[in-house]
Amino acid sequence: MRLADTLRFARDAATGTPLRTALSVLAMSIGVAAVVILTALGDGARRYVVGQFSSLGTNLVIVLPGRSGTGGFNPANAITSTPRDLTVDDAASLRRLSAVRRVAPLTVGTSEIAHGGKLREIMVAGSTAEFLPIRNFELAQGSGLPEEDWSRGSPVAVIGAKIRDEIFGSQTAVGQLVRIGDRRLRVVGVLRPSGQGLGMNTDELVIVPVALAQSLFNTNTLFRILIEANSREAIEQARDQALATLKQRHRGEEDVTVITQDAVLATFDKLLGALTLAVAGIAAISLAVAGILVMNVMLVAVTQRTGEIGLLKALGATARTIRLAFLAEAAMLSAVGALLGYLLGQAGVFALRQFFPVFPAYPPDWAVIAGLGTALATGLIFGVMPARRAARLDPVQALMKR
C-alpha cells in the first residue's frame, strides 16, 4: 500500500468514529497544552525573579547583620542569634576598600507623608547619594540626595512616582515642603515609575538621608549595607574585603552575612529551574495517560473492525500493511492531539502574557520539544500493540465476526 493511501485510509478510519477520535485527540492535546503552559509558568517565574534580582543593581554585594554559616539566607540563625548591629560607621569604613566603587547604607521603616491636607502611608529608605546609582534608580524630575557628610541628614526627600501622583496630582512636586513623621522635608527629586520591584516598590518609596531616617525611627542601626564592586570580576574580592573589614571592626567576630547577587541569582535560578522541571514531569504524566487512552481507543477500533481486517486480508493485504494502517491511525491521533495541544498551550500563555504583561510566560524550547516528542512517542508506542494484534488476526475468524 502506498504511503499516501495508508494515511488516507487511517484518516478515514479515524474520522469514521468522530466522538472516540475527538476524545483521544482532546486528551492528548490537554497533555501537551499542560506541558506548554505549566513550563511557561515555571520558566516565567524563574525569569521574572532573575530579572528582578538583576534590576537590584549591577555587581551588587549586600551586607546584612547576623551570621549565616552557609553564606545564604538562614532564617533560623536570624532568630536565635543576637548579632551586633551594623552602623553607618561600618558602612563608611567600607568606602576605602580597593575592590569597592560605591557604598550606600540603608535603613528602612514605615511612616506617613502629608502635604496640603493629603496623607498616606509610605515606606522610608534612609540612605545616601550613592543609593540611586547603586540600585540603578532613575529620576524623573529634580535631583537625588545631596552629596554630604553621612552624619548630616539634610531635610530633603526623593519620592516615588505614585506618591507624587497621589499627593501632588498635577502640581510640581520638586521644591515643595512635605511632612514625614514629625519632620518637614523639601522634595528634591521624583523617581521614574519602575513598576513592581522585588521586595521594595519604588513607586511608593521615599528616600531620605540616612542620618535623618535614623533619628526619625529613633535607631542607630542599619538594615543593609549595599556595595557596588568595581567590576563583575571584583565581586568576590569586594565580598572578602568587606567581610574582613567588618570582622576587624567587630572585634574579630564574624557576625555579619555578606551575600553577592550572583549567589542569590544562582540559587533562585537553580531552584526555579528545578521547579519547572518538576512541573514538566507532572504534565508529562498526563501525556502518558493520553497515550494509554490512544491505545485503548485503538484496541477498541481493532475489536470493532475485526471483520474489516479479515476482509483486508482476504483482499490481499499483508500483515505489514495492516500494522502500518493501524499504527498510522494511532500516530495521527497523537500528532493531531499534540499539534492542537501546542496551539492551545501557546494561546494560553499568550493570554497569560496579555493579562500579566510583567510576567514573561514563554515555554522553554526544551519543554515544547519534549512535550511534542513525548506525545508522538507515546502515541506510537501505545499504538504498536493494537496494530500487531490487528495484523495477527486469523482472517477466517475475523471474517466470520461481524
Partner 1 sequence: MPLIELSGIERRFQLGDTTVHALAGLDLAIAAGEYVAVMGPSGSGKSTLLNLLGLLDRPDAGSYRLEGRDVTTLSPDEQATVRSTRIGFVFQSFHLVPRLTAAENIALPMTLAGIAPAERNRRVAQALKDFGLDRRADHRPDQLSGGQRQRVAIARATIMQPALILADEPTGNLDRHTGEEVVNLLEALNASGVTLVVVTHDPGMGARARRQLVMEDGRLQSDTQGGR
Question: Which C-beta is closer to partner 1: that of 310 or that of 383?
Answer: 310
d(CA 138, CA 330): 58
Q: Which residues pair with 191 in a beta bridge?
A: 139
| CA proximity to 86, closest of 259, 223, 208, 248 | 223
**What pairing do the DSSP bridges indicate for beta strands 60-65 and 156-159?**
unpaired
* Stretch of 66-74, 94-102, 379-387, 392-400 contacting partner 1, by CB under 8 A: 392-400
* Stretch of 5-13, 113-121, 273-281, 284-292 contacting partner 1, by CB under 8 A: 5-13
Q: Which residue among 276, 313, 341, 364 contacts partner 1 (CB under 8 A)?
A: 313
CB of 32 to partner 1, least distance (A): 28
Residue 354 φ/ψ, nearest 5 degrees: -65, -40
Q: Which residue among 195, 307, 347, 350 contacts partner 1 (CB under 8 A)?
A: 307
d(CA 371, CA 258): 41
* Stretch of 9-17, 131-139, 278-286, 338-346 contacting partner 1, by CB under 8 A: 9-17
Burial class (CB in 10 A: 0-12, 13-18, 19+), 249: middle
Q: Is residue 396 close enough to count as binding partner 1 by CB under 8 A? A: yes
d(CA 89, CA 105): 9
Cell numbers given for 56: 537590584
CB of 22 to partner 1, least distance (A): 16
Q: Is residue 399 close enough to count as binding partner 1 by CB under 8 A? A: yes
Q: Which residue among 26, 129, 277, 311 contacts partner 1 (CB under 8 A)?
A: 311
* Stretch of 4-12, 29-37, 154-162, 193-201 contacting partner 1, by CB under 8 A: 4-12
Q: Is residue 318 close enough to count as binding partner 1 by CB under 8 A? A: yes
Q: Which residue among 27, 100, 191, 312 contacts partner 1 (CB under 8 A)?
A: 312
| CA geometry: angle 309, 315, 318, nearest 5 deg | 65
Question: Which C-beta is closer to partner 1: that of 143 or that of 397?
Answer: 397
d(CA 63, CA 242): 8
Residue with cell 465476526: 401
Segment 242 to 271, residues that bind partner 1, using CB under 8 A: none
Helix (H, G, I), strand (E, B) or coil at 315: coil
Q: Is residue 12 close enough to count as binding partner 1 by CB under 8 A? A: yes
Q: Is residue 320 close enough to count as binding partner 1 by CB under 8 A? A: yes
Cell numbers given for 369: 520539544
Cβ atoms < 10 Å from Cβ of 201: 14
Question: Which C-beta is closer to partner 1: that of 311 or that of 344?
Answer: 311
Residue with cell 492542537: 340
Q: Is residue 321 close enough to count as binding partner 1 by CB under 8 A? A: yes
Q: Is residue 317 close enough to count as binding partner 1 by CB under 8 A? A: yes
Q: Which residue among 1, 123, 344, 385 contacts partner 1 (CB under 8 A)?
A: 1
Question: Which C-beta is closer to partner 1: that of 84 or that of 305?
Answer: 305
d(CA 391, CA 326): 9
Residue 251 φ/ψ, nearest 5 degrees: 55, 50
> Under the rule (CB under 8 A), what is the footprint of partner 1?
1-2, 5, 9, 12-13, 16, 307-308, 310-321, 395-396, 399, 402
